[in-house]
Amino acid sequence: MVKPTRSRPDRPDGVSRRGAPADPAVKFAAPVASQMVDRPRLHRLLAEGQAQPVTLIAATAGWGKTSLAGSWLAAGAGDRAAAWVSLDAGDDDPRMFWRALAAALVPVAGPEPEAALPRVAADAVNSDELPGVFAAAVGRAVRPVTLVLDNLHEVQSAAVHAGLVRLIERPLPMLALLVTTRRDPPWPLQRLRLAGLLAEVRAHDLAFRVDEAAAMFAHLHVGLTAEQVQRLVERTEGWPCRAAPGGAAPAQPRRRGRGGRRLLR
């Protein structure tokens, strides 16, 4: 279960698009959606994916990638500790990127990683060494941790992606990555699949099935017959943004500070 945590003075801050310190209550907080319907089959996919170093939730805008990741964390994340980073263009730099990941993990990774992670933000560390310094710090964890990287499509740095691939191909026993993105990252995906290092959730998985759409409309107090729901799902191919009333997604994530996080259903 993701528990509220307070920021700590030795914790490196995130970085906003313009390079100014980001608000940790936003950057490191999972989204809150007030009108979610339970989708246990998707939660099962994410739970099963924790056996691999990385799970990739990849689909274009409007498929509910962030809402799914946030709801799974709020439901307990498979009894793992969990951390969240909302990535933006300010993280498209190796130092800023690894600094943000270190900042997210400090409150949940345990005492030994907590002492070592601030070194990722040290100016003396060469940017090429950051993935290794990060891995060495997180490698000291004694409990499993899931780290969510939301909106990885915002990051295009070849150096950042090379570091992530290295982290995936040399997996840390206590760390699993959960990545949301609008497009495939520049990784050797086929090689990772064949090596059993990658789990994937795609648009066809995220698409609403008839029973899920019926539950959504019932939750929103929209009166549709079973036949109408069936036709709507077929016409929209289960795309949430088209299936919801008025063409709007059924739940728009909001974010709260760490002290006021609400659970999703």
Q: Which CATH number covers residue 34?
A: 3.40.50.300
Q: For the segment 112-135, what is each residue's pLDDT rounded down to a tens digit?
A: 998 899 888 776 678 889 999 999
Using a 10 angstrom Cβ sphere, with 0-12 exposed, 13-18 middle and 19 or more buried, the burial of residue 83 is: buried
Q: pTM for the complete prediction?
A: 0.81
Domain count, the chain: 1
The answer to whether residue 148 is domain-embedded is yes
| Average model confidence (pLDDT) across the chain | 82
Is residue 12 assigned to a domain? no
Give the residue-averaged pLDDT of 180-207. Answer: 97
The larger pLDDT score, comparing residue 114 to residue 138, is at 138
**pLDDT band, residue 243 (cuts 50/70/90):** low
3 state DSSP class of 45: helix
Structural domain contains residue 243: no
Domain that holds residue 190: 24-208+251-260
Give the pLDDT confidence of 140-175 residue by residue, as tens digits.
Answer: 999 999 999 999 999 999 999 999 999 999 999 999
Q: Is pLDDT larger for residue 33 or for residue 15? A: 33
Residue with tokens 């799902």: 233
Spatial neighbors of 230 by CB under 8 A, at least 6 apart, are 210
98 part of a folded domain: yes
For residue 167, tell me if it sits in a domain. yes
